[in-house]
Amino acid sequence: QVQLVESGGGLVQAGGSLRLLCAASGRTFSSYHMAWFRRAPGKEREFVATINWAGGGTRYTDSVKGRFTISRDNTKNTLYLQMNNLKPEDAAVYYCAAGTTWFPQFVPAYWGQGTQVTVSS
């Protein structure tokens, strides 16, 4: 089992940047594939990006490609999401998730509580 805590959210102007962090506790962070999801007001939670257990494979939803970068540091039990050139439509609560299935799609098994990202236009 793994516990996940997100941080790094906040208010940013359109075009700005934020870096989200997800701190994992437990002994086996490096054995989990990880991902970021988000939920905007009035919308369903959607996939944003995923990274495999070793950090050698990543996938992104089309709307964030070229702007967001997912990464991880297994020595620090931490997952990151670097978000650049933020747009108002990126505003949402961002969640990190851990899972043991990555291909053909990531399947979440554990969730964090979320961190709010607000983008002003």
| Three-state secondary-structure class, residue 37 | strand
Per-residue pLDDT of the chain (121 residues; tens, 9 = 90+): 899 999 999 999 999 999 999 999 977 899 999 999 999 999 999 999 999 999 999 999 999 999 999 999 999 999 999 999 999 999 999 999 999 999 999 999 999 999 999 999 9
For 63-95, write each residue's pLDDT tens digit: 999 999 999 999 999 999 999 999 999 999 999
Q: What is the pLDDT of residue 46?
A: 97
